[in-house]
């Protein structure tokens, strides 16, 4: 007789993998936006926050490349500089970007409201906390102490500098699974405010949660968000939810403050033998 063996993990959630800007710190995800706007202005090819936010979540050099690949940016670059932006242009601008981002990144380390309470909840359940990011290792080495001073320090962190490629590839999540000693991959949940965050988690075989209102998708400061009317928030939320769910997100919450109830549901579903 021929048998096929099937095992179904039912051990519950083990780890939560969080993004940084727009998810845990830097409400509205403004640190990369500010630097990109400054650099392109310096080059005589001013861009808007909309241009910058299209590639948010990617490793920063890939993010820069994505901006220069936008048709209107490419055309204006050619008009101003007489050449089409190529890899030499990417390398030249990025050489200025990284030190500027490192210089200012600690200014964007304020925790998003609800972060500390959610971290306390995660730790009370015995779950581990890891992070992935579009920031490089030198950038994170400047951000981590500033975040720790404000009360946030994950158990482990990985950057695109540490693996073959950043998002949407799953390598940072795989590296974190080793560092946190978690198995299987679907015992972890990936949380982030960009579509590349969702792709990263799905490619790693994890549950995924999108952050709708505190990050890149809305792109508002905390002060700007606080004066939005209920109808304005609802309109924005609906549009953002559609984008996240179309990308494959399993859940979407407004901010990290709303994460515990979703983590409870994921834990319960895992214990029933469900997989993402």
The CATH class that applies to domain 15-29+109-271 reads alpha beta
Quickly tell me which residue has 């946190």 as its tokens: 180
Stretch (H or E) spanning 190: strand 188-192
23-54, pLDDT tens digit by residue? 999 999 999 898 889 999 999 999 998 898 88
What residue ranges do the domains of the chain occupy? 15-29+109-271, 31-107
Q: Quote the mean pLDDT of the chain.
A: 94
Instruction: For residue 247, give Cα distances in angstroms to 16, 17, 198, 208, 252.
Output: 20, 18, 7, 10, 11
Q: 91: which residues sit within 8 A by CB, 6+ positions away?
A: none
219-256, pLDDT tens digit by residue? 999 999 999 999 999 999 999 999 999 999 999 999 99
pLDDT for residue 8: 82
* Mean pLDDT computed over 172-201: 97
58-116, pLDDT tens digit by residue? 888 999 999 999 999 999 999 999 999 999 988 999 999 999 999 999 999 999 999 99
Instruction: For residue 7, give Cα distances in angstroms to 2, 36, 183, 274.
Output: 17, 48, 14, 12
- List the one residue out of 120, 125, 124, 123 whose CA is nearest residue 12: 125
Residue 55 and residue 89 in contact, taking contact as beta carbons nearer than 8 Å: no
Residue 188 and residue 49 in contact, taking contact as beta carbons nearer than 8 Å: no
Q: Tell me, yes or no, if the two domains 15-29+109-271 and 31-107 fold the same way.
A: no
The Cα 37–Cα 25 span in angstroms is 20
- Whole-model pTM: value is 0.91
Residues classed as catalytic: 19, 60
Residue 19 and residue 133 in contact, taking contact as beta carbons nearer than 8 Å: yes
- Provide the CATH topology of domain 31-107: DNA polymerase; domain 1 (1.10.150)
């Amino acid at each position: 007789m021929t048998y096929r063996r099937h095992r179904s993990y039912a051990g519950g959630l083990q780890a939560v993998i969080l993004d940084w800007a727009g998810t845990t710190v830097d409400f509205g995800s403004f640190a990369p936006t500010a630097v990109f706007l400054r650099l392109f202005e310096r080059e005589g090819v001013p861009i808007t926050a909309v241009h910058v936010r299209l590639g948010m979540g990617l490793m920063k050099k890939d993010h820069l490349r994505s901006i220069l690949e936008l048709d209107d940016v490419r055309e204006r670059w050619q008009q101003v500089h007489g050449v089409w932006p190529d890899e030499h242009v990417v390398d030249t601008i990025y050489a200025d970007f990284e030190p500027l981002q490192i210089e200012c990144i600690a200014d964007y380390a304020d925790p998003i409201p609800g972060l500390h309470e959610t971290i306390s909840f995660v730790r009370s359940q015995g779950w581990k906390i890891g992070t992935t990011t579009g920031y490089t290792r030198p950038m994170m080495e400047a951000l981590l102490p500033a975040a720790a001073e404000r009360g946030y320090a994950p158990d482990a962190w990985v950057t695109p500098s540490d693996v073959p490629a950043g998002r949407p590839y799953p390598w940072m999540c795989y590296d974190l699974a080793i560092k946190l000693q978690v198995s299987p991959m679907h015992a972890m949940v990936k949380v982030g405010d960009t579509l590349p965050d969702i792709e990263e988690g799905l490619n790693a075989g994890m549950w995924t949660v999108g952050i709708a209102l505190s990050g890149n998708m809305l792109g508002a400061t905390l002060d700007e968000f606080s004066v939005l009317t209920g109808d304005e928030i609802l309109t924005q939320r609906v549009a953002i939810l559609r984008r996240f769910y179309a990308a494959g997100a399993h859940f979407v919450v407004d901010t990290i403050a709303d994460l515990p109830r979703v983590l409870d549901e994921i834990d319960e579903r895992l214990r029933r033998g469900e997989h993402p």
